[in-house]
A and B are shown apart, each in its own frame.
Chain A
Amino acid sequence: MTNKDLLYVKDLILTPSELTVNHLESVLNKALLPEVDFADLYFEQIYAESLALEDGKVKDAGYTIDKGVGLRVVSGEKTGYAYSDDINLKSLENSAIAAKSIVKQGSNKKISLTKNLRDHSTNIIHSLYDSSNPLESISIADKKSLLEEVDKEARRYDSKIKKVEVSLSGSYKVVLIVNSLGMLVPDIRPLVRFGVTVIAEDSKGHKESGSAGGGGRFGYLDFTKDNWHLEQAREAARVAILNLESKPAPAGMMPVVLGPGWPGVLLHEAVGHGLEGDFNRKKSSVFHDKLGQKVASELCTVVDNGTLDLKRGSLNIDDEGVPTQNTVLIENGILKGYMQDRLNAKLMNTESTGNGRRESYAHVPMPRMTNTYMLPGKHKKDEIIKSISKGLYAVSFNGGQVDITSGQFVFVASEAYYVENGEIKYPVKGATLIGNGPEVLKKVSMVGDDLELDKGIGTCGKDGQSVPVCVGQPTIKIDELTVGGTKSE
């Protein structure tokens, strides 16, 4: 991030509303009272587009422009928040009055900012993505032909592919964060996503679907590099056809091998959410009293790292202006730390880890994951599968969910195989895997050397807010996990 970027952001967001830095100082001063610990303003302007192909034709297009500003006042454990999609001095002042109503206004003692607002963009240590607009990275004609090529490739793969849907979406988000610590800091965030879903049908009329795709903080050109988009078309088709041949999954407790990459959603659900600062400050997480304790086998080291180049979960700064970092959550099985935003860090007497994120200006920030993954171990994938006498090898998932209080989590396999005597026997239908967060990682008995992050498809939901994230892991073996199939042994 450079000084030029700050000028650009100010020009885009403040100038049309005739707002100056002095105005922002006066708004923050309006929000400040002796009992107020902290106040911030989060300006956001977003341009987003989507294109979709169905029946071989690109006939759906959408475009959205949204802008607004949220004002937050924090006093102890209390948060007051007001936002508006009108950016002007009057609505900012109204927001300040509304948000500070969490604090009793008995005394009329006035306080003001101790430091004047100052450009903090030089404090931004990361430059993880380009600040050019991905929506303009290729022409509309090129966007259309990208979709059409994918459609053709999927159909060419096999005549059983009857239906192909392809989508391309991108957004360009410009944010400006201003706070009572005197900070004025911008970020410019590109994000693109590409997806293909196919339906395969066999001669008996039996149907199954398959999906593939990915994305990240870059432009659309990366999708066609080395014909990556065509590879995704073939991958979606392969999964759909594989599922046509799949048999009912077994039911019951058994050893499970999880493949690398997206199956890391296990970590996201089983431990990730439970290690977010707010749940631990409120003591609602099953992990709240386990810092320093063994919560996983010594083979497990899990990090949340927001500083990876171009990744979907990466951010130069979080939505509170704090640079992201590589945070060790679990090291050799021992719980080392939580993911924090400013509010929870202060209340827990620690520092923010750069995990304060929000969906948009209409939402308050919370501790959220960025790119969460397990570090690699020593084993080869083949030897891990060979070690299974009867169990499941799960390669891909639809997603998952967790109850952070009891620790119970589930995730659903979209590509999985039954393994017997160390050999992959046959594909099985989507089975739900269920377990308990603090218990499951203790049962990890082998960790592969093949760490991968997912292809950039993850969206995490919490408290009604969605944010883009990545997950990852090497191949791992869990000694026992409940598999929710329909076939009894």
Chain B
Amino acid sequence: MSNNLIYKTQYELQNELDNYKQLVSDVLTIAKKKGATDVEVDASLSDGVSIEVRNGDIDKLEFNRDKGVGITVYLGKASASVSSSDTSLKSLESTIDHAIALAKVMEEDEYSGLAEKELLAFDYKTFDLDLYHPWDVSIENLIDLAKDCEKKAFDLDKRIINSDGSFVNTYSGLSIYGNSNGFIGSDIASRHTYGISLIGKENDDMQTDYWNTVSRVPENLQSIDIISKKAVERTVSRLGAKKILTRRTPVIFNFSTAKTLIGSFLGAISGGALYRGASFLLNQKGNQIFSDKITLVERPHLAQGLGSALFDGDGVKTKERILVDNGILNGYLLSCYSARRLGLQTTGNSGGVHNLHIDLPDDAKSFDNLVKEMHNGIIITDLMGQGINTITGDYSQGAFGYMVENGVITYPIREITVASNLKDMYKNIISVGSDIDTRGNVQIGSLLIDNMMVAST
């Protein structure tokens, strides 16, 4: 087996950065020459390996290498976008021709256009976000890591009867954005993750669950002891799940399900949903939309952050800000286009939010204390389905969870639905957990929410 495959490809990636910047610059020039009044170009190149081990042997070994260029041309206020995986100049010329031909037949959109020059992140190089840490390791070592993690998990509990895959992924990519207002920005970043998905069985009940760790820096990944133990605990704790009676009850959304509630919030305050009128949070800026225990801060410039970025998809400089301040909505997530449609300023969020973290209130509680506070109720650890109406906020999701009686977790419960309206749920947050999950772009702990409808038998 070849030893240094990963190291080699990622080394090449660094060398490609200048070539790709040149490519973007060439495309901008050619498109202008061909008659475009303005142009935007996105180019990306990524390299990765993903490994899956099952029951002690390799199941899948995949080498990924992707590249692509996306070009948007403007003819006045009309525009069209064309993309291609062929980055040869000859092919890109015909891609540009196609985009121009298409833009010619499009209707004008008075709100379209590039970001204003003064908003662009021309000084982006003054920071180093420190996002690129290739994993200098052989493929054999990565396979061994996956095998060891799986073996540890099997040894921990005899109810673990099968593995649904122990996996390792490592990825590095470069991306460049340029536009005809003179901006070309680039970033190069790595992302590594490993984890395991297990199957537990007791009597006739079979359940699966998983755990993983993710970081831009290989050394910051959690140990296989932690990952295997957590995956086993989560899987076996689901065994023997019962059905319960339909009831109205307080509910703890654990950190992973709480994150999805924040995801719905972010969708509802995004420019696209707002200008379409397709949001349950229209015109709510300045209003109390969460309980006063919730403060959410966007921190785009965190070193090694999973959501860090110095400029957004429009090339606009990103800024740190308090998005929700003690429950009050301070702003929206806007791109240049959606901002113009709403008569507002862009917030540098074309492409989404960059590192949204909860700032814990003084009375934040450990998960155990949150359970004690709820006293009687239900913990939701898994959600399924698409039962969220983004226009009205109506919420009805399939769920898996645990019964809490007198402050103690008593048994797992299956086949329930939780229902309410997101507007009410946000305001009914009684207490906030300090058990923040640091694995993603949105980082939050568990949330205790009062008065949910839980349906079952």
Which of B1, B83, B91, B385 is in CB contact (< 8 Å) with A412? B385
Residues of B within 8 A of A140 (CB): 102, 105
Residues of A within 8 A of B103 (CB): 61
Asked whether B394 is an interface residue with its Cβ less than 8 Å from the other chain, the reply is yes
> When the two chains form their complex, are residues B396 and A61 in contact, meaning their CB atoms are under 8 A apart?
no
Q: How far is the CA of A163 from the CA of B95 in the complex (A)?
A: 33
Asked whether B228 is an interface residue with its Cβ less than 8 Å from the other chain, the reply is no
Interface residue total, chain B, C-beta cutoff 8 A: 76
Q: How far is the CA of A81 from the CA of B238 in the complex (A)?
A: 34
Is chain A's interface secondary structure helix, strand, loop, or mixed overall? strand
Which of A82, A105, A141, A432 is in CB contact (< 8 Å) with B385? A432
> When the two chains form their complex, are residues A59 and B106 in contact, meaning their CB atoms are under 8 A apart?
yes
Asked whether A401 is an interface residue with its Cβ less than 8 Å from the other chain, the reply is yes
> When the two chains form their complex, are residues A403 and B419 in contact, meaning their CB atoms are under 8 A apart?
no
> When the two chains form their complex, are residues A251 and B416 in contact, meaning their CB atoms are under 8 A apart?
no
A104: nearest residue on chain B (CB-CB)?
A: B1
Which of A57, A80, A163, A487 is in CB contact (< 8 Å) with B107? A57
**B224-243 residues at the A interface, CB under 8 angstroms:** 238, 241
Question: How many pairs of A and B residues are in contact by the CB < 8 Å rule?
Answer: 246
Q: A59-B108, A98-B63 are in contact. Are A488 and B453 (CB under 8 A)?
A: yes
> When the two chains form their complex, are residues B60 and A364 in contact, meaning their CB atoms are under 8 A apart?
yes
Asked whether A11 is an interface residue with its Cβ less than 8 Å from the other chain, the reply is no
Residues of B within 8 A of A405 (CB): 164, 199, 206-208
Q: How far is the CA of A55 from the CA of B4 in the complex (A)?
A: 54
> When the two chains form their complex, are residues B384 and A207 in contact, meaning their CB atoms are under 8 A apart?
no
Residues of A within 8 A of B246 (CB): 251-253, 488-489
Residues of A within 8 A of B394 (CB): 429-430, 486
Asked whether A423 is an interface residue with its Cβ less than 8 Å from the other chain, the reply is no
> When the two chains form their complex, are residues A399 and B107 in contact, meaning their CB atoms are under 8 A apart?
no
For the complex formed, measure the closest distance between the CB of A58 and the CB atoms of chain B, giving whole angstroms: 6
Q: A78-B59, A486-B396 are in contact. Are A434 and B416 (CB under 8 A)?
A: yes
Indicate with 1 or 0, residue by residue over B39-62, a CB within 8 angstroms of chain A CB atoms: 000000000000000100111111
> When the two chains form their complex, are residues B208 and A79 in contact, meaning their CB atoms are under 8 A apart?
no
Asked whether A228 is an interface residue with its Cβ less than 8 Å from the other chain, the reply is no
Residues of A within 8 A of B78 (CB): 59
Asked whether A84 is an interface residue with its Cβ less than 8 Å from the other chain, the reply is yes
> When the two chains form their complex, are residues B82 and A398 in contact, meaning their CB atoms are under 8 A apart?
no
> When the two chains form their complex, are residues B59 and A208 in contact, meaning their CB atoms are under 8 A apart?
no
> When the two chains form their complex, are residues B199 and A284 in contact, meaning their CB atoms are under 8 A apart?
yes
For the complex formed, measure the closest distance between the CB of A270 and the CB atoms of chain B, giving whole angstroms: 12
For the complex formed, measure the closest distance between the CB of A16 and the CB atoms of chain B, giving whole angstroms: 10
Asked whether A102 is an interface residue with its Cβ less than 8 Å from the other chain, the reply is yes
> When the two chains form their complex, are residues A408 and B384 in contact, meaning their CB atoms are under 8 A apart?
yes
> When the two chains form their complex, are residues A485 and B455 in contact, meaning their CB atoms are under 8 A apart?
yes
Asked whether A68 is an interface residue with its Cβ less than 8 Å from the other chain, the reply is yes
> When the two chains form their complex, are residues B208 and A432 in contact, meaning their CB atoms are under 8 A apart?
no
**A47-92 residues at the B interface, CB under 8 angstroms:** 57-68, 77-85
Residues of A within 8 A of B381 (CB): none
Asked whether A482 is an interface residue with its Cβ less than 8 Å from the other chain, the reply is yes
> When the two chains form their complex, are residues A483 and B455 in contact, meaning their CB atoms are under 8 A apart?
yes
Q: How far is the CA of A163 from the CA of B272 in the complex (A)?
A: 13
A404: nearest residue on chain B (CB-CB)?
A: B208
Residues of A within 8 A of B162 (CB): 282-284
**B152-172 residues at the A interface, CB under 8 angstroms:** 162, 164
**A164-214 residues at the B interface, CB under 8 angstroms:** 165, 199, 201, 206-209
Asked whether B211 is an interface residue with its Cβ less than 8 Å from the other chain, the reply is no
> When the two chains form their complex, are residues B60 and A412 in contact, meaning their CB atoms are under 8 A apart?
no
Residues of A within 8 A of B457 (CB): 252-253, 482
> When the two chains form their complex, are residues A488 and B248 in contact, meaning their CB atoms are under 8 A apart?
yes
> When the two chains form their complex, are residues A432 and B419 in contact, meaning their CB atoms are under 8 A apart?
yes
**B98-115 residues at the A interface, CB under 8 angstroms:** 98-99, 102-103, 105-109, 112
Residues of B within 8 A of A163 (CB): 276-278
Residues of B within 8 A of A484 (CB): 387, 396-398, 416-419, 453, 455
For the complex formed, measure the closest distance between the CB of A258 and the CB atoms of chain B, giving whole angstroms: 16
A63: nearest residue on chain B (CB-CB)?
A: B82
Asked whether A249 is an interface residue with its Cβ less than 8 Å from the other chain, the reply is yes
For the complex formed, measure the closest distance between the CB of A52 and the CB atoms of chain B, giving whole angstroms: 10
For the complex formed, measure the closest distance between the CB of B124 and the CB atoms of chain A, giving whole angstroms: 27
A103: nearest residue on chain B (CB-CB)?
A: B1
Q: Which of A59, A140, A284, A411 has the most CB of B within 10 A?
A: A59
Q: How far is the CA of A77 from the CA of B53 in the complex (A)?
A: 10
Q: How far is the CA of A3 from the CA of B417 in the complex (A)?
A: 55
Residues of A within 8 A of B63 (CB): 81-83, 95, 98-99
Asked whether B126 is an interface residue with its Cβ less than 8 Å from the other chain, the reply is no
Asked whether A458 is an interface residue with its Cβ less than 8 Å from the other chain, the reply is no
Q: How far is the CA of A102 from the CA of B277 in the complex (A)?
A: 52
> When the two chains form their complex, are residues B61 and A79 in contact, meaning their CB atoms are under 8 A apart?
yes
Which of B64, B98, B107 is in CB contact (< 8 Å) with A63? B98
Asked whether A466 is an interface residue with its Cβ less than 8 Å from the other chain, the reply is no
Q: A62-B82, A81-B61, A364-B62 are in contact. Are A57 and B109 (CB under 8 A)?
A: yes
> When the two chains form their complex, are residues B66 and A209 in contact, meaning their CB atoms are under 8 A apart?
no
Asked whether A406 is an interface residue with its Cβ less than 8 Å from the other chain, the reply is yes
Asked whether A436 is an interface residue with its Cβ less than 8 Å from the other chain, the reply is yes
For the complex formed, measure the closest distance between the CB of B365 and the CB atoms of chain A, giving whole angstroms: 28
Q: How far is the CA of A408 from the CA of B205 in the complex (A)?
A: 12
> When the two chains form their complex, are residues A65 and B455 in contact, meaning their CB atoms are under 8 A apart?
no
For the complex formed, measure the closest distance between the CB of B261 and the CB atoms of chain A, giving whole angstroms: 16
Q: How far is the CA of A251 from the CA of B245 in the complex (A)?
A: 11
Asked whether A376 is an interface residue with its Cβ less than 8 Å from the other chain, the reply is no
> When the two chains form their complex, are residues A85 and B419 in contact, meaning their CB atoms are under 8 A apart?
no
Q: How far is the CA of A458 from the CA of B2 in the complex (A)?
A: 42
A94: nearest residue on chain B (CB-CB)?
A: B63
> When the two chains form their complex, are residues A78 and B57 in contact, meaning their CB atoms are under 8 A apart?
yes
Asked whether B21 is an interface residue with its Cβ less than 8 Å from the other chain, the reply is no
Q: How far is the CA of A457 from the CA of B106 in the complex (A)?
A: 26
> When the two chains form their complex, are residues A410 and B397 in contact, meaning their CB atoms are under 8 A apart?
yes
> When the two chains form their complex, are residues B64 and A64 in contact, meaning their CB atoms are under 8 A apart?
no
Residues of A within 8 A of B291 (CB): none
> When the two chains form their complex, are residues B389 and A77 in contact, meaning their CB atoms are under 8 A apart?
no
Binding site for B on A (CB under 8 A): 57-68, 77-85, 95, 97-99, 101-102, 104-105, 140-141, 144, 162-163, 165, 199, 201, 206-209, 249, 251-253, 282-284, 286, 362, 364, 398-403, 405-406, 408-412, 429-432, 434-436, 482-489
Q: Known pairs A66-B85, A399-B385. 17 more at Cβ < 8 A?
A: A61-B105, A63-B102, A64-B83, A66-B84, A67-B86, A78-B60, A82-B63, A83-B65, A98-B2, A209-B391, A253-B456, A405-B199, A408-B414, A430-B396, A484-B453, A486-B394, A488-B246
**Can you report 6 residue pairs joining A to B where beta carbons are below 8 Å apart?**
A57-B109, A65-B86, A208-B389, A402-B384, A430-B389, A482-B457
- 7 tightest Cβ-Cβ pairs between the two chains A and B: A484-B417, A410-B398, A251-B455, A410-B385, A405-B208, A57-B107, A85-B85
